[in-house]
Amino acid sequence: MTRHNVFYNSEFVSSDFAFDTTRKSGALAAALGDDSSATVVDPGHFTERTSEIIDRLHGPEYVLAVRTGTPSALAESQGFEWDPKLPTMATAHSTGLVAAVSEVLTSTSRVAGSLSSGLHHARRDRGAGYCTFNGLAVAATDALDRGAERILVLDFDAHCGGGTRSMTSSNEVVQIDVSTVKFDSWEPSAAQDSLTYSGPGSYIDDIATALQHAGRAGTFDLVLYNAGMDPANSGVSKADLNVREQMVAEWAAERGQRVVYALAGGYTGGGITMEDLVALHHLTIDAFCDETER
Ligand SMILES: [Zn+2]
């Protein structure tokens, strides 16, 4: 088993508003402290760089609202109650991804993760679906700034990544999405893009087809993998989610593909405890630990 770095600091869980998106990364980081699968690294020194990219990508009125809490309808458009630490929390989830992009594009590490969620539904001028700033679009922009020319967003969160597609250019960013819920759906406009609706009965077949499609789309300077575990909330089994993570990690390893992954969705309730949720997200980390040595 080969270790890789996963980025996280206490700012990820700093908002007063307690919800899986603003708390689960802390529980997972604590669990990682006890084993040897990954090293938790503080991305804090990328905060300023990240804030600058957020200022470029998101509308000024929206960014100001998130930072000040006013107007509240805009500041709380992601569905959270605003408090002064909410902008810190939201920025941190993008900062972890920027740190991970820096790591895989400027070092010998092929894989890095960030314990980030609440990303892919955010639009330029508003939040949506628990997503405040679009950290995937932020990470893609940072990669382009660093000289990447072609990026794949692989979005296997249960929900569609329409926010990310709306904030990135099809000329530079290919998006391949397998979803079990139609929220935030988007219309593929480029031949290489795809959006597949799946469910427990066909999930692994649909993931395999999506990865074949990604393989035919050529090579990428970076893959941003939105590794949501919320298909579990749609009835996809933990065993199938484990197979999915092994498939993605193997697909990337076979191609020597640089990967940055984010936790993305995954929720307690309906019989899923925080301990269960941590175990689900751990599948992603373990799969990439197994594959980084290839
Ligand atoms: Zn989701």
- Res 33: pLDDT: 75
* pLDDT at residue 294, as a whole number: 44
CATH T-level assignment (fold) for domain 4-291: Arginase; Chain A (3.40.800)
Instruction: Provide the percentage of residues in the chain whose pLDDT is more than 70.
Output: 97
251 neighbors 228 (Cβ within 8 angstroms): no
pLDDT one-digit tens code per residue, 56-74: 999 999 999 999 999 999 9
106 C-alpha to ligand 1 centroid (Å)? 30
pLDDT tens string 188-204: 988 899 999 999 999 99
Task: Give the distance (Å) from ligand 1 centre to CA of residue 169.
Answer: 22
List, for residues 70-97, the tens digit of each pLDDT value: 999 999 999 999 999 999 999 999 999 9
Mean pLDDT of the chain: 96
Average pLDDT over residues 23-32: 94
Ligand 1 geometric centre to CA of 108 (Å): 31
Over residues 125-129, mean pLDDT? 98
For ligand 1, the distance from its centroid to the CA atom of residue 294, given in whole angstroms, is 30
Identify the burial level of 121 via C-beta atoms within 10 angstroms of its C-beta, where 0-12 means exposed, 13-18 middle and 19 or more buried.
buried
Burial of 36 (0-12, 13-18, 19+ CB in 10 A): exposed
40 CA → ligand 1 middle, Å: 24
**CA 257–ligand 1 middle distance (angstroms):** 25
Q: Would you say residue 293 has pLDDT above 90? A: no
Task: Please give the distance, rounded to the nearest whole angstrom, from the Cα atom of residue 189 to the centre of ligand 1.
Answer: 22
Q: How many CB atoms lie within 10 A of CB 101?
A: 28
Domain boundaries, the chain: 4-291
Cα(127) to ligand 1 centroid in Å equals 14
Mean pLDDT calculated for residue range 111-120? 98
What pLDDT is recorded for position 267?
96
